[in-house]
Amino acid sequence: METITLQQLQEMFAGARAETDFDIDGDIPWSYYFTSSASKGLESTAEALEELGFDTVDIAEMAEDEPRFILVVERLEKHTPESLFALNAELEALASKFEGVEYDGMDMVPLDGEGECNCEGNCEDCDCEKETEQKHECGCGSKHCHTENEPVENPELLVAMDRITKELSEETQHNLTLQLQRGLYLVPVFTGRIDIEPTDDEAVQVLVCTDENDAEYLPLFTDETALRGWTSEKVSAMILTAPEAWDFILSQPECFGGVVNPGTAGLPLNRDMVAILKKMIDAVEEAPKE
């Protein structure tokens, strides 16, 4: 991995302060990534990191042509760009001690309830008392409500998806991860099944998309326009938050992952990626609250 410069970190912090609602300067869980062609080296790396106070989240195989594994560790920390720059240098040096292991950067996850929710929809304390109200908990930890007549839209996620195709950097990767976790998704189901709980596998008839090998993926649409542009079938849409979507995918053994907005410039998320996103949310929920 190309070394992350101090200037890049300063820009990342400045962008987070301007564009997000959580306190990047406070104590938040930070995730750190290490990659290798073999899992054994990552297991040794994880042991060394645990001695330094890091918690191992997962060691997973990445979906690539060549065998590649990723180690994800986390630690609750308070950082400045300068302190994070110094830590990155330490982690690069640590990774170099293990054959074939490379340090692959870091990411940040806001603590549950930090700041105000940026999700579409009204706040939890609104006066909405409509019977059609559906309560959801989003990936950033805040609750909001959604009604049948209120469109699902994810403008920040669409911007993040477009931006990463033009500029692949730590900042664009972090922002995409953050917006994926905050997403509210439409999943197509056959008409008449919308009132069935998504965990009821026998009742829900979910439409899936397949790749050239007929592997099944759960389609996740950011809005009604994207959904209607994908299928002409008469379907309704089940609304899933990010945690619900990750749980649903991982609960289906035959599902290879999810695709955000298939049929256009879709964003594929293989099962390993979904598992990492799920573990990030779990880590936030399990983090000690002050």
pLDDT tens sequence across 184-211 = 999 988 644 333 344 444 455 788 888 8
Amino acid occupying residue 151? P
Strand partners, 134: 146
Number of domains in the chain: 2
User: How many other CB atoms are there within 10 angstroms of residue 166's CB atom?
Assistant: 7
Once rounded to an integer, what is the mean pLDDT over residues 91-102? 92
> Of 196, 181, 182, 266, whose CA–CA distance to 236 is shortest?
196
**Radius of gyration (C-alpha) of the chain in whole angstroms:** 20
Same domain, 100 and 158: no
Q: Does 268 map to a domain?
A: yes
1 inside domain: no
Domain that holds residue 64: 6-108
Q: Is residue 59 part of a domain?
A: yes
Q: Which of 98-112, 132-146, 181-195, 226-240 comes out lowest in average pLDDT?
A: 132-146
Q: How many whole angstroms separate alpha carbon 266 and alpha carbon 263?
A: 6
User: Which pair of structure tokens corresponds to residue 225?
Assistant: 């326009």
Mean pLDDT rounded to a whole number for the chain: 77
Please indicate, yes or no, whether residues 102 and 183 belong to a single structural domain of this protein: no
Is pLDDT larger for residue 75 or for residue 129?
75
In this structure, is residue 276 part of a structural domain? yes
Same structural domain for residues 103 and 179?
no
Same domain (yes/no): 149, 100: no
Both 141 and 281 in one domain: the answer is yes
CA 8 to chain centre: 22
Spatial distance between the Cα atoms of 183 and 181, rounded to a whole number of angstroms: 6
Q: Find the mean pLDDT for residues 266-270.
A: 90
Please report which confidence band the pLDDT of residue 227 belongs to, taking 50, 70 and 90 as the band edges: confident
Asked whether the whole model's pTM tops 0.85, one would answer no
Residue 76: what are its φ and ψ, rounded to 5°? -80, 120
- At 127, the pLDDT band (50, 70, 90 cuts) reads very low
> Are 267 and 161 contacting, i.e. CB atoms less than 8 angstroms apart?
yes
Contact 16, 24 (CB under 8 A): yes
